[in-house]
Structure 1
Amino acid sequence: MVDVDGFKDINNILGPAAGDDVLRAIGQLLVAEAWSGTAVARIGGDEFAMWVCGLTAEAVKPFARQLLAKISELAPMGHEDMRISASCGIALFPHDAQEPVELIGDADLALHAAKAEATANVALYSPALRTDALDRRLSSIDLHRAVANGEFVLFYQPQVRLSDGVLVGAEALIRWLHPSRGLLSPAAFLPALEGSALAPQVGRWVIEEGCAQAARWRRQGAADFRMAVNLFASQFHTGDLPREVEESLARHGLPPEALELEITENIVLSDHSTSIDALTRLRQMGVHIAFDDFGTGYASLSLLTRFPVSCIKLDRNFVQAMLQAPREAAVIAAILEMGRALDMDVIAEGIETEAERAYLAARHCPEGQGYLFGRPMPAEEFEARLGQAAAFVPQGAAERDAGSRAC
């Protein structure tokens, strides 16, 4: 199975006539490379199939790579500057399957594996690919059921002012109360959820639930309580995020400054114009915008000036290495100074020891969160501690060391 890489871009940029010419050129090349006993077909879109006889298992990958190399040399419609690339998935008869439909399906699974692997454009079928595909299908079915049945819940991790330990807010963190597997952390399902069409719907529910809880706790006496909510990238491309946030705030009588929306690097890098416009409208409403996991990826410092960010979140990896590693300590100091210069809040994540808290407080880091102050917890537990005096002062070492890190 052969599939053209980036065919949608060719159509969008050069027009459908250029796309048609690419398909014709590849089809003619595949036919020219065929011999007796070989069949070639275009089976849909930009996908082609070849039934090749007379090749040994050892020779099939070199043959495929040679085929893709010739495709890359094509220059349809005289576009000498156009670079065409393709990916190839291979299934072997009778080793992988004996039924034609099953063999084609196996080759298609291998093709998807080849396209997903950035460093290889040829892949052989293996049974693990079908198992992975089945797992993805089951995950998709599970996710749809979870949304329909309300199986997602929010846990809350306290955020405190480091100078005196006063509670200032919480970060809402999604969990899945699975009917057979129990409580699942985000690592078990978030990648599948983020890549599904359900992400915007779940994202809207998180905002609605987070606003409802924040309003409840503010009414109970936490007057300046702030709720931090994580966004999915797809929420910027489906619906009207600022309007949805505004409506949710109004429903619960929550002032905009009581909500903080956390964005990550993949959001700000995926579509500048769309995300900048939405975030600017949100910031003009008074909603806080936090840049999560800052400094861990490829985002440039200029994003802090172009995006309406009001808060920088220090990644836990810097925090937990800063007392032993001068380089991490220097990064912490630089980000804190940058936050002050840009008039942005800074929240340090992953604080687990009193020494880490004292180090950050001495350097005037405004806020922090981590196991030292509390693990992510259900709303009922958070509310119970919220009603206690000094509820969010550092917890005991034995409590902090029990169990694994929160996601």
Structure 2
Amino acid sequence: MLIGSYDYSLVLLSLCVAILASYTALDLAGRIASARGVARSLWIVGGALAMGIGIWSMHFVGMLAFSLPIPLGYDLTITLLSLGIAILASGFALWLVSQPELPAWQLGLGALAMGTGIAAMHYIGMAALRMQPGIDYDPLLFGLSLLIAVVASGAALWIAFRLRRDTPYVRVARAGAAVIMGVAIVGMHFTGMAAANFAEGSYCAAAGSGLGSGWLASLVVVVTLAVLAIALLTSILDARLEARTALLSQSLARANAELTELALHDGLTKLPNRLLLEDRIGQSILKVQRNGGHFALLFMDLDGFKPVNDAFGHHIGDQLLVAVAQRLRANLRAQDSLARIGGDEFVLLAELRQADDAASVAGQVVSLLSQPFRVDEHELRVSTSVGIAVYPGDGSNQQELLINADAAMYHAKGLGKNGYSFFERSMNTNARQQLQLLHDLRAALERGEFLLYYQPKFATGSERMIGAEALLRWQHPQQGLLTPDRFIGLAEKTGLIIAIGDWVLNEACRQMRLWYEQGRRDWRVAVNLSALQFCHGELVESVRRTLDRHGLPANCLTLEITESTAMHDVNASLAILEQLAGMGVDIAIDDFGTGYSSLLYLKRLPANELKIDRGFVRDLEHDGDDAAIVSAIVALGQALDLRIVAEGVETRQQQAFLTELGCDSLQGYLLGQPLPPEHLSAA
């Protein structure tokens, strides 16, 4: 019997190839498990080629490591057949571990099929020697090699199935498993080699015409390593690409979720916005139509929010809105929905057992928001006006219900604020009129529909005209001449008062320039500032530019602000008034006696003039209290060295009384009604 020997360097090389092939197979199993469609099929085919070549290469290098004392060669056709069997077995294995589940019976059948394929590869590869006489195999070792092939295949399939998902340290686990699988495959091969017996006098029929063994080992190893490296690198790069794609997909999903959140929620308070509210109203309508019942829309508008926003700044205003939202949300019932639909407007969608229950919910909301808020060390107080629209009854869809609840809210404001009002059909007419008036107001400035009337002021005693107060009028194309009480509220609510106020200031100074050129150099023109205009950051610069534009001395202009506006934030008011006074502009405190009347703060304001409110003047002749208040105001003004102006003088008795008290100037219908400037000049 011929005795064979081994080149142990090639044996070690075959073991390394087996381990590398096993790791590549495990990695490819992971790629196949995550692939879909055509890509999955391509990975199985490519993986079968790489894994089959790797396993066959281990077998073939192991055979090349074996030598006999006779020349050896390998039949090309039979060798290629063994390679094809290795590829087919590898493809079957990869397909099997890519299935969603791998039950025990399927694992057993797969191990048997794959083990048979590997054994067939080995023994067909041995047949490529074409030994004469044929190779005699030891039955015990032959059976043991088959058993090792089946067990190793089963273990390989189970390991590949378990390690196909990307988990922490999966590559380390695959490396360890690859070593075990490689040792098992090599063990099967060399067990099969040990089973082979070569009779004395045997010769290899393929020695002359077949593949030689001198250079073949190096070629097979180089080609195999190239194939395995390409497969492994492709798998790793694809895994990274997939991971980046998954990361990008997650980022896109998060971005979409954030965009959806932004599209459906208010950015400041995080409450649902109008779009989401309308959707929920639609769902509630369907629910009531299906199951019966009621729900109400409570349209809330904060009373006193704009003065807070103007006095303390938008930052504090925003914090106040957040605090309002948090308070309302904290007291929300589970079945109700709260939304912010813009500015200081909130809407509560409340499910009701009975339609009348809406009054109880509205009362709770009014009470809740009437309590003070603590915002950035400021104690702020606002209230709310609530309009209520109930479904069914007050609208058939989302838009009608919101419009009607809004109309009811305006009605509640008209009743004195800090309360609620149910919708009534008559409110629609008023609401439409207000909307039309607002639409017209937005265009009035551009169309030049505003004009100024001037009510003269007279020196007490001599009845000499010393100036006039500019009073805004709107020449509405349909409704005629409108006084400020018809539209100033809308202008303040929408912020249009800033642009309108700038126009009034400019027009009054333009007219004063004409009077100045006519020799009326002792006159002053008075302009009222709204609270919003007074707190506007551009006020001082706007006044300076206007005076410069018309070449007007600053002392020809008197700016009138209400006592409440001046005292709302005394420090901020002082800063603005001191800048105006520094320019030489006169400052008048309008409606004195109706607001704070704080002597402590009044003496700090750089004012030149006090105006006694017409409410005190009206009943001077009949009300002793009003007479006493007027006397006190005059005495106070004289003590502080301020000019005293009394407005609303309509009778000779009022004129005489105010003159005797020592008022500096008088204003009222008795002395002169508001007139266009050309009529005033003629007078």
**CA shift in 2, pair 1:316/1:108, >3 Å:** closer
**CA shift in 2, pair 1:3/1:58, >3 Å:** closer
1:211 aligns with 2:509: yes
What are the superposed Cα offsets for residues 63-93 of structure 1, whole Å, 9 maximum, x if unpaired?
Answer: 66579989999xxxxxxxxx99998654333
1:380 aligns with 2:678: yes
1:49 to partner: Cα distance: 4.8
Q: Structure 1 regions of 5+ residues with no counterpart? A: 35-39, 74-82, 386-407
Alignment of 1:330-341 (within 5 A): 330-341=628-639
1:247 to partner: Cα distance: 1.3
Q: Distance in 1 between matches of 2:656 and 2:325?
A: 65
1:12 aligns with 2:322: no
Alignment of 1:18-57 (within 5 A): 25-26=330-331, 29-31=332-334, 34=335, 40-44=336-340, 47=346, 49-50=348-349, 52=351, 55-57=353-355
Q: Distance in 2 between matches of 1:374 and 1:218?
A: 20
SS at match of 2:441: helix
Amino acid at match of 2:319: N
CA contact (8 A) 2:590 2:610 kept: yes
Q: Distance in 2 between matches of 1:64 and 1:154?
A: 43
| Residue 259 of structure 1, aligned match among 557, 561, 567 | 557
Alignment of 1:345-360 (within 5 A): 345-360=643-658
What are the superposed Cα offsets for residues 229-259 of structure 1, whole Å, 9 maximum, x if unpaired?
Answer: 1111111333421111111111212111111
**Partner residue in 2 for 1:397:** none
**Partner residue in 2 for 1:277:** 575
**Partner residue in 2 for 1:93:** 391
Amino acid at match of 1:52: E
Alignment of 1:144-183 (within 5 A): 144-183=442-481
Q: Distance in 2 between matches of 1:366 and 1:190?
A: 30
Q: Distance in 2 between matches of 1:211 and 1:327?
A: 39
What are the superposed Cα offsets for residues 123-149 of structure 1, whole Å, 9 maximum, x if unpaired?
Answer: 433224433332222121111121111
**CA shift in 2, pair 1:287/1:126, >3 Å:** same
CA contact (8 A) 1:5 1:84 kept: no
1:101 to partner: Cα distance: 4.4
**CA shift in 2, pair 1:127/1:256, >3 Å:** same
- Between 1:145-154 and 1:237-246, the stretch displaced more is 237-246
| Paired residue total | 363
- What is the CA RMSD across the aligned residues, in angstroms? 3.6
Alignment of 1:287-302 (within 5 A): 287-302=585-600
1:237 aligns with 2:540: no
Q: Distance in 1 between matches of 2:467 and 2:535?
A: 28
**Partner residue in 1 for 2:609:** 311
CA contact (8 A) 1:214 1:227 kept: yes
What are the superposed Cα offsets for residues 197-251 of structure 1, whole Å, 9 maximum, x if unpaired?
Answer: 1101111111111111112112111121111111111113334211111111112
Amino acid at match of 1:378: P
1:43 to partner: Cα distance: 4.3
SS at match of 1:156: strand
Identity %: 38
Amino acid at match of 1:202: I
Q: Distance in 1 between matches of 2:443 and 2:612?
A: 35
**CA shift in 2, pair 1:244/1:91, >3 Å:** closer
1:48 to partner: Cα distance: 6.2
| Residue 249 of structure 1, aligned match among 534, 544, 547 | 547
What are the superposed Cα offsets for residues 134-173 of structure 1, whole Å, 9 maximum, x if unpaired?
Answer: 2222121111121111111111111111121221111111
Q: Distance in 2 between matches of 1:101 and 1:358?
A: 59
1:360 to partner: Cα distance: 2.2
CA contact (8 A) 1:2 1:87 kept: no
Q: Distance in 1 between matches of 2:589 and 2:547?
A: 21
CA contact (8 A) 2:470 2:508 kept: yes
Q: Distance in 2 between matches of 1:62 and 1:217?
A: 60
Q: Distance in 2 between matches of 1:371 and 1:115?
A: 31
**CA shift in 2, pair 1:215/1:194, >3 Å:** same
**CA shift in 2, pair 1:378/1:42, >3 Å:** closer
The structure showing larger relative contact order (alpha-carbon pairs under 8 Å, at least 6 residues apart) is 1
CA contact (8 A) 1:156 1:173 kept: yes
1:326 aligns with 2:630: no
**CA shift in 2, pair 1:268/1:180, >3 Å:** same
| Residue 139 of structure 1, aligned match among 437, 459, 471 | 437
Q: Distance in 2 between matches of 1:248 and 1:71?
A: 42
Q: Distance in 2 between matches of 1:176 and 1:351?
A: 25
Amino acid at match of 2:351: V
**CA shift in 2, pair 1:253/1:56, >3 Å:** same
Q: Distance in 2 between matches of 1:382 and 1:71?
A: 49
What are the superposed Cα offsets for residues 354-399 of structure 1, whole Å, 9 maximum, x if unpaired?
Answer: 33323322222211111232111111111112xxxxxxxxxxxxxx
1:24 to partner: Cα distance: 6.4
Amino acid at match of 2:662: H
- Structure with the largest fraction of helix: 2
CA contact (8 A) 1:163 1:361 kept: yes
Which structure has the larger Rg over C-alpha atoms? Answer: 2
Q: Distance in 2 between matches of 1:4 and 1:96?
A: 17
Q: Distance in 1 between matches of 2:395 and 2:549?
A: 57
Q: Structure 2 regions of 5+ residues with no counterpart? A: 1-296, 306-314, 372-380
Amino acid at match of 1:30: R
1:184 to partner: Cα distance: 1.6
CA contact (8 A) 1:90 1:124 kept: yes
- Between 1:130-139 and 1:179-188, the stretch displaced more is 130-139
SS at match of 2:672: coil
CA contact (8 A) 1:3 1:86 kept: no
**Partner residue in 2 for 1:390:** none
**CA shift in 2, pair 1:2/1:148, >3 Å:** same
1:339 to partner: Cα distance: 1.1
Q: Distance in 2 between matches of 1:106 and 1:282?
A: 45
**CA shift in 2, pair 1:42/1:162, >3 Å:** closer
CA contact (8 A) 2:299 2:388 kept: no
CA contact (8 A) 1:242 1:281 kept: yes
Q: Distance in 2 between matches of 1:70 and 1:173?
A: 40
